[in-house]
Amino acid sequence: MNISRVAEQGLVLLGCGKMGSAMLAGWLEHGLPAASVWVIDPYPSDWLKAQGVNINTPLPESPAVVLVAVKPQMMGEALPAIQALGGGDSLFISVAAGTSLATFENVLGADTPIIRAMPNTPAAVRQGITALIGNSEASDADIVLAEGLLSAIGETVRLDDETQMDAVTGVSGSGPAYVFHLIETLAQAGEAHGLPPELAMKLAKSTVAGAGALAMAADEHPSQLRVNVTSPNGTTQAALEVLMHEEEGFPDLLHRAVKAATNRSKELSRE
């Protein structure tokens, strides 16, 4: 991460809850001086107070970056604190779900470079994936700067169009919850077939984590990895015949789940 400009001009973080703290921890670890960070948060956590950053003090005039990490429903209340920084040299980055670039432009001015990003909860262990898109004022250098900052919580991907953000929300934003539910139900199924609860949970968690790690590390497509572990007429094939059933299995179920989340994301951004 190129932190020298941010270190020199400063970074303002609006809202330092789960997502804000995960990012801040990464930046400080990468060498961003605590004195270069200004945090606005009504109830700073003990962890935040121990970091040596500026908390709820007057802001620098032209910080390199203003990062917005408050809940979308707090946005109206929180944005006035940084509104005066709009229309200058500061790059705005928002990780708030459902708040559009146009909403920020209305508050900050359309001449403000703004990047909208959608992270996910594995950010807490630096294994998140964040999709990002900038408004027409955001330059390539701005996107690169945002990617550098967001890489503190995992991988980043660029979108071509803001409308993709709803489907991104349906796949990676909400996706960790689908996988948590997979772990829960896999463990419950193990219990139903005679395993003690703790053992079933351990097997389910490690299987999902291990398969995820293998899918990330392998050159083969996940479909091929699946084929590799499916011997004809074996145990895996017996299970996959249930799971891969066109109407009753994963294909239709996940399609409907992602559709529901995507539609809800569209509705929320209109509210």
Ligand X SMILES: NC(=O)c1ccc[n+]([C@@H]2O[C@H](COP(=O)([O-])OP(=O)(O)OC[C@H]3O[C@@H](n4cnc5c(N)ncnc54)[C@H](OP(=O)(O)O)[C@@H]3O)[C@@H](O)[C@H]2O)c1
The footprint of ligand X (CB under 6 A) covers 14-20, 40-43, 69-72, 74, 77-78, 95-97, 118-121, 173
Measure the CA–CA gap between 261 and 174, rounded to whole angstroms.
Answer: 7
Task: Rank residues 24 and 201 by Cβ distance to ligand X and give the closer one.
Answer: 24
Torsion of CA 232, 234, 236, 240, to 10 degrees: 60
For the bound state, the minimum distance from the C-beta of residue 6 to ligand X, rounded and expressed in Å, comes to 20
Closest chain position to ligand X (CB)? 17
Is 33 flagged in the annotation as binding? no
Of 125 and 229, CB closest to ligand X: 125
- CA–CA distances in Å: residue 47 to residues 16, 132, 158: 10, 28, 32
β-bridge mates for residue 55, sequence order: 39
Residue 87 Cβ, how far from ligand X at the closest point, in Å?
20
Report, in Å, the least distance between residue 91 CB and ligand X.
Answer: 18
Is 39 annotated as contributing to ligand binding? no
To the question of whether residue 16 is assigned a binding role by annotation, the answer is yes
**DSSP assignment of 145-203:** HHHHHHGGGEEEEE-S-TTHHHHHIIIIISHHHHHHHHHHHHHHHHHHTT--HHHHHHH
CB nearer ligand X, residue 20 or residue 170: 20
- Nearest approach, Cβ of 140 to ligand X (angstroms)? 24
The partner residues of 154 in beta bridges, in order of sequence, read: 128
Tell whether residue 253 is among the known ligand binding residues: no
CB of 42 to ligand X, least distance (A): 5
Complex with ligand X: residue 119 or 148, whichever CB lies closer: 119
Strand pairing class (114-118; 91-94): parallel
Nearer to ligand X (CB atom), residue 18 or residue 255: 18
Nearest approach, Cβ of 21 to ligand X (angstroms)?
7
Q: Is 70 annotated as a binding residue?
A: yes
* DSSP state string for 54-108: EESSPPPSS-SEEEE-S-GGGHHHHTHHHHTTTTSSPEEEE--TT--HHHHHHHH
Using the minimum distance from each CB to ligand X, give the nearer residue, 94 or 135: 94
| Residues 56, 82 contacting (CB under 8 angstroms) | no
Residues comprising the binding site? 14-19, 56, 69-72
Residues comprising the binding site for NADPH? 56
Residues comprising the binding site for NADP(+)? 14-19, 69-72
